[in-house]
Amino acid sequence: MAATRLKIDPVELRLKNLLKPGSSVTGTGERLREDAGDPVACLKSVAESIGWGRPCERTQQPWRFRGKGIAACVKGPAQPPNASASAILKFNEDVSVDLIIGTASMGQGTPTALSQIAAEELGIPLEKVRVGLVQSTDTSAYTWQTVGSRGLFTDGIAVMEALRDVKAQIKDVASQVLKVKPEDLQIADERVFVKGSPWHGLPLSEVIFGYTYPNGNSIGGPIIGRGRFMSSLTTYLDPDTGQGVPTIFHTFGACGVEIEIDALTGEIEIVNAVQAMDVGKAINPLLVKGQIDGGFIMGQSVALFEEMLFDEQGWVLNPNLSNYRILRAKEIPHKMDEIIIETPQSDAPHGARGLGELVMVAVAPAIANAIHHAIGVQITRLPMSPENVWRAIREQRPDLLEEAKRRLKESGGE
């Protein structure tokens, strides 16, 4: 809206005003860390992907119009300063590992990514890391909540600390047996061995429950690792000024769409969709891409269809999926692209930041901007249902509606 009034390209206006890691200050007074991400790369990659600045293809029906829209986004897991997490690692006799965490999987794949971290750090196959499918406060490690896109970061740091604990114990036992310093040892391929001399080492199976010498003397014992996370920099927000440090990281992204809109009915079709997200480091790129696509579809559903209806007494009029409209398979975009940007964060597990909810934040504004680009109509409320869009066209562009009707009549339609 500002770009239109100023007669500036919307992407150029955003590039001039994007937060700059290392120097910009957020609305709560927090200065962005230098490795917070690369919002410029996110925005530019999306603009290039959807062909920003190039004209849209002409539609086959003259009352349908095409437009492109872009929106940038940022999200951090605002949480109390004491929102902690913990992790426990314990070995089994087959050198498999039970990874005990509190964060749950609701489709985002966090336990898979945490398992990958554990497998890589311990030098064991991924299938040997087991995470319980059901989390329970009776048996699981503690985590504050599975919310806010915080799981990979907070529980990941706890897992990394538990891994350091485990590896230190393994090297302590092995160093006594191999007669070398712990820092001269390496763990990989289910073995612990001297760096540069892999033949001088021990199988992990001989160490994880304690080492037994040929004469029966033993050292060590069952190895169990523990780790924890507690933010050291976050604060409460000042109730009067709103200033403070409410989050442990920021994840930047951008979304771009090309739409086709029917001026006669207000119906919107997503022809092309792309999202770019700076995840720090993609522990599992396939999961990241799946999360980006799933988030776009959820955001599209919220943007175009979903709405709770109430009567005068406050009763919900559409309490089930028979009349609460959600996206259907046939309405998924014809083309969807995912762009992964990687700006590792130094204090993150393997540099990775959370992604979970960010992937639907920019979808609705990108679609609204595409509508404006296509027909010059500004939509400022959700959902952008056919009825609401048609009413906006009638109010803001009655000339367009009349022109669309004329074109329909000339084509032989009713």
Distance separating alpha carbons of residues 59 and 374, to the nearest angstrom: 12
Confidence of residue 285 (pLDDT cuts 50, 70, 90): very high
Distance separating alpha carbons of residues 132 and 202, to the nearest angstrom: 29
Give me the mean pLDDT over the 50-61 stretch: 91
Q: What integer pLDDT is reported at residue 111 of this predicted model?
A: 93
Give me the mean pLDDT over the 82-98 stretch: 95
Give me the mean pLDDT over the 235-248 stretch: 95
Q: What integer pLDDT is reported at residue 78 of this predicted model?
A: 86
pLDDT of 216 over the 90 cut = yes
Confidence of residue 135 (pLDDT cuts 50, 70, 90): confident
The domain defined by 85-229 folds into: Aldehyde Oxidoreductase; domain 4 (3.30.365)
Q: What integer pLDDT is reported at residue 59 of this predicted model?
A: 87
pLDDT of 410 over the 90 cut = no
At residue 218, φ and ψ (nearest 5 deg) are: -130, 150
Q: What integer pLDDT is reported at residue 254 of this predicted model?
A: 98
Residue type, 173: V
Give me the mean pLDDT over the 121-129 stretch: 95
Confidence of residue 414 (pLDDT cuts 50, 70, 90): low
Confidence of residue 163 (pLDDT cuts 50, 70, 90): very high
Question: What CATH number is given for 2-78+241-410 in this structure?
Answer: 3.30.365.10
DSSP 3-state assignment of 278? strand
Are the beta carbons of 367 and 268 closer than 8 angstroms? yes
Residue 179 has a CB neighbour count (10 Å cut-off) of: 8
Q: What integer pLDDT is reported at residue 413 of this predicted model?
A: 63
Strands (E), 103-171: 129-130
Domain boundaries, the chain: 2-78+241-410, 85-229
pLDDT of 407 over the 80 cut = yes
- C-alpha distance from residue 232 to each of 42, 87, 101 (Å): 29, 18, 21
At residue 121, φ and ψ (nearest 5 deg) are: -65, -35
pLDDT of 398 over the 70 cut = yes
Give me the mean pLDDT over the 113-129 stretch: 95
Distance separating alpha carbons of residues 288 and 276, to the nearest angstrom: 11
Give the 3-state secondary structure of 295-350: HHHHHHHHHHCCCCCECCCCCECCCCCCCCCCCCHHHCCCEEEEEEECCCCCCCHH
The two domains 2-78+241-410 and 85-229 share their CATH topology (first three levels equal) = yes
DSSP 3-state assignment of 136? coil
pLDDT of 412 over the 80 cut = no
**Residue whose entry in the numeric block shows the structure tokens 């002409």:** 58
Distance separating alpha carbons of residues 175 and 187, to the nearest angstrom: 12
Q: pLDDT tens for residues 1-28? A: 999 999 999 999 999 999 999 999 999 9
Distance separating alpha carbons of residues 89 and 352, to the nearest angstrom: 21
Distance separating alpha carbons of residues 121 and 115, to the nearest angstrom: 10
Are the beta carbons of 81 and 262 closer than 8 angstroms? no
Q: What integer pLDDT is reported at residue 252 of this predicted model?
A: 97
Distance separating alpha carbons of residues 244 and 240, to the nearest angstrom: 11
Give me the mean pLDDT over the 310-327 stretch: 94
pLDDT of 231 over the 80 cut = yes
Q: How far apart are the first and last CA of the chain?
A: 35
Confidence of residue 106 (pLDDT cuts 50, 70, 90): confident
Give me the mean pLDDT over the 377-395 stretch: 96
Tokens found for residue 109: 């794949």
Mean residue pLDDT across the chain: 94
Give me the mean pLDDT over the 106-134 stretch: 92
